[in-house]
Amino acid sequence: MFSNISHIFFDLDDTLWDFEKNSQHVLQNLFSEYDLSTKLKTDFNSFHTTYKSVNSQLWHAYSKKQINKQFLRNNRFDIVFKKFSYNNYDENLEMTTHYLERSPYGTHLKPGCMDVLTYLKSKYKLHIITNGFKEVQRIKLNNCGLINYFSQIIISDEHNLSKPDEKVFKLAETLAACKSDNCIMIGDNYENDVEGAMKAGWKAIWFSSELKNGQINKIEHLNELKNIL
Ligand SMILES: [Mg+2]
């Protein structure tokens, strides 16, 4: 199924690095440090659910180039605050600063991550393509011991690009010195990682427990990669 593949490109957030878990840990601390239960009159779970929905809408708008990084950063907590009828723009900025400083130091990885990377590294060239912010992605890779597994670390933000733009995948081919036929992308975001890669003529594997119609290469656990690659 995957003959000719010699280069594997991984997404980082929520594919290898457990963004969800690491982020929740920081948000939980900020929620109590800022006494948000009193200010927002709610509990952490409902704050967190609202934050996740606001954040994913903003990231979607960012990947469509409808908003920039600054807007995303400086407004996400404010939008959440307002949903709980709380107005404090400055506190929102302060929280954003703390959130960005702390979150890349999280070390939770997706189950099986190291084991699978060790296995794959003996057979393939491994690389990263991430849409995350340049200021934090290298900290994450260094801090959780992932950095040495990868040859090319392509942070689209450093090139003013973002997945699913085909240009990111073409840039990756140049940097890794390979052809589209030899490339496979593995990631959790269907639009950015799977569709984006396939439009560039790559193979792709979707890491998700969601269902989708059609013929898609899909895994629900990273360990499954050992059986197919
Ligand atoms: Mg991701």
Report the share of the chain in percent with pLDDT over 90.
89
Instruction: Express each pLDDT in 170-207 by its tens digit.
Output: 999 999 999 999 999 999 999 999 999 999 999 999 99
Determine the distance separating the centroid of ligand 1 and the alpha carbon of 41, expressed in angstroms: 32
All domains of the chain, ordered by start, with CATH? 7-18+109-228 (3.40.50.1000), 19-105 (1.10.150.240)
Q: Write the pLDDT tens digit of every residue in 101-136.
A: 999 999 999 999 999 999 999 999 999 999 988 888
Confidence class of residue 17 from pLDDT cuts 50, 70 and 90?
Answer: very high
Buried b (16+ CB within 10 A) or exposed e, 9-30: bbbbbbbbbbbeebbbbbbeeb
Q: What is the pLDDT of residue 132?
A: 85
Distance 40 CA to ligand 1 centre (A): 29
- How many angstroms does the Cα of residue 192 sit away from the middle of ligand 1? 8
Alpha-carbon distances, residue 130 vs 63, 71, 111, 159, 213 (angstroms): 12, 19, 19, 11, 26
Q: Which run of H or E residues covers position 33? A: helix 19-33
- Separation of 58 CA from ligand 1 center, angstroms? 14
- Ligand 1 centre to CA of 38 (Å) is 33
Segment 43-47 mean pLDDT: 98
**Confidence check: pLDDT of 2 > 90:** no
Parallel, antiparallel, or unpaired for β 183-187 and 7-10? parallel
What confidence score (pLDDT) does residue 98 get?
96
